[in-house]
Amino acid sequence: MGSKTIKGEISLREIPFQFQSQYVWTIQLTGVKADGSRKQLGFISEPTEIKEPWAFMFHVDDHLMAHDLHRYDLRVEVLDGQVLIADADHRFPVDSQGDAPTVQQLVLQPQYI
Protein backbone atom coordinates (compact mmCIF):
# COMPACT_ATOMS: atom_id res chain seq x y z
CA MET A 1 0.00 0.00 0.00
CA GLY A 2 1.47 3.35 -1.07
CA SER A 3 0.72 6.93 -0.33
CA LYS A 4 0.08 10.16 -2.19
CA THR A 5 2.08 13.23 -1.23
CA ILE A 6 0.34 16.59 -1.36
CA LYS A 7 2.56 19.63 -0.90
CA GLY A 8 1.46 23.21 -0.52
CA GLU A 9 3.09 26.60 -0.58
CA ILE A 10 1.47 29.58 1.11
CA SER A 11 2.09 33.14 -0.07
CA LEU A 12 1.67 36.14 2.23
CA ARG A 13 1.88 38.72 -0.57
CA GLU A 14 -1.68 40.01 0.03
CA ILE A 15 -1.22 40.43 3.80
CA PRO A 16 -0.73 44.13 4.75
CA PHE A 17 0.38 43.46 8.34
CA GLN A 18 3.05 41.56 10.30
CA PHE A 19 2.20 38.17 11.71
CA GLN A 20 2.49 37.91 15.50
CA SER A 21 3.90 34.99 17.50
CA GLN A 22 0.55 34.38 19.26
CA TYR A 23 -1.23 33.61 15.98
CA VAL A 24 -2.18 30.00 15.37
CA TRP A 25 -2.38 28.55 11.88
CA THR A 26 -4.42 25.53 10.86
CA ILE A 27 -4.28 23.59 7.62
CA GLN A 28 -7.00 21.08 6.75
CA LEU A 29 -6.96 18.59 3.88
CA THR A 30 -10.38 17.13 3.08
CA GLY A 31 -11.38 14.52 0.52
CA VAL A 32 -14.73 15.12 -1.18
CA LYS A 33 -16.73 12.40 -2.93
CA ALA A 34 -18.93 13.02 -5.98
CA ASP A 35 -22.04 12.95 -3.74
CA GLY A 36 -20.62 15.83 -1.66
CA SER A 37 -19.73 13.78 1.43
CA ARG A 38 -16.45 14.80 3.05
CA LYS A 39 -13.65 13.07 4.96
CA GLN A 40 -10.84 14.89 6.74
CA LEU A 41 -7.55 13.40 5.51
CA GLY A 42 -5.09 15.66 7.31
CA PHE A 43 -4.90 18.44 9.88
CA ILE A 44 -2.05 20.64 11.13
CA SER A 45 -2.42 23.22 13.89
CA GLU A 46 0.37 25.04 15.69
CA PRO A 47 1.26 28.46 17.02
CA THR A 48 4.03 29.91 14.93
CA GLU A 49 5.46 33.05 13.49
CA ILE A 50 4.83 32.46 9.80
CA LYS A 51 7.60 33.43 7.42
CA GLU A 52 7.35 33.42 3.64
CA PRO A 53 7.80 31.22 1.75
CA TRP A 54 5.94 28.77 3.91
CA ALA A 55 5.25 25.18 2.92
CA PHE A 56 3.48 22.10 4.24
CA MET A 57 3.07 18.46 3.26
CA PHE A 58 0.49 15.72 3.74
CA HIS A 59 0.92 12.00 3.04
CA VAL A 60 -2.40 10.31 2.24
CA ASP A 61 -2.60 6.50 2.37
CA ASP A 62 -4.03 4.79 -0.70
CA HIS A 63 -6.80 3.16 1.33
CA LEU A 64 -8.11 6.64 2.18
CA MET A 65 -8.16 7.55 -1.50
CA ALA A 66 -11.12 5.42 -2.50
CA HIS A 67 -11.94 5.31 -6.21
CA ASP A 68 -15.00 7.46 -5.55
CA LEU A 69 -12.99 10.40 -4.15
CA HIS A 70 -13.73 13.32 -6.48
CA ARG A 71 -11.51 16.18 -5.26
CA TYR A 72 -9.38 17.56 -2.44
CA ASP A 73 -10.14 20.73 -0.50
CA LEU A 74 -7.39 22.62 1.32
CA ARG A 75 -8.22 25.27 3.92
CA VAL A 76 -5.65 27.44 5.69
CA GLU A 77 -6.63 29.72 8.57
CA VAL A 78 -4.59 32.08 10.73
CA LEU A 79 -6.25 32.82 14.07
CA ASP A 80 -5.64 35.31 16.87
CA GLY A 81 -7.58 33.58 19.62
CA GLN A 82 -11.02 33.10 18.08
CA VAL A 83 -10.59 35.86 15.48
CA LEU A 84 -9.87 34.83 11.88
CA ILE A 85 -6.96 37.01 10.72
CA ALA A 86 -6.32 35.48 7.28
CA ASP A 87 -7.38 32.47 5.26
CA ALA A 88 -7.08 30.65 1.95
CA ASP A 89 -9.16 27.95 0.25
CA HIS A 90 -8.12 25.76 -2.64
CA ARG A 91 -9.83 22.87 -4.45
CA PHE A 92 -8.21 20.49 -6.91
CA PRO A 93 -9.17 17.19 -8.57
CA VAL A 94 -7.89 13.80 -7.48
CA ASP A 95 -5.29 12.32 -9.82
CA SER A 96 -5.86 8.65 -9.02
CA GLN A 97 -3.36 7.47 -11.66
CA GLY A 98 -0.49 9.75 -10.71
CA ASP A 99 1.81 9.02 -7.79
CA ALA A 100 4.00 12.10 -8.18
CA PRO A 101 3.60 14.73 -5.47
CA THR A 102 1.24 17.56 -6.25
CA VAL A 103 2.20 21.10 -5.23
CA GLN A 104 -0.68 23.46 -4.53
CA GLN A 105 -0.27 27.25 -4.37
CA LEU A 106 -2.36 29.16 -1.83
CA VAL A 107 -2.46 32.92 -1.22
CA LEU A 108 -3.57 34.06 2.23
CA GLN A 109 -6.16 36.84 2.17
CA PRO A 110 -6.62 39.24 5.10
CA GLN A 111 -9.93 38.90 6.94
CA TYR A 112 -9.51 41.18 9.94
CA ILE A 113 -7.16 44.11 10.43
CB 39 within 8 A of CB 52: no
How far is residue 3's CA from residue 39's CA, in Å, rounded to a whole number?
16
Q: Give me the DSSP letters along 16-32.
A: -S---TT-EEEEEEEEE
Domain assignment of residue 75, given as a range:
3-110
Count: domains in the chain = 1
How far is residue 98's CA from residue 77's CA, in Å, rounded to a whole number?
28
pLDDT tens by residue, 10-43? 988 888 888 788 888 899 999 999 899 999 999 9
- CATH number for the domain that contains residue 29: 2.60.40.2990
pTM: 0.84
pLDDT tens by residue, 41-88? 999 987 766 666 688 889 887 565 556 788 999 999 999 989 999 999
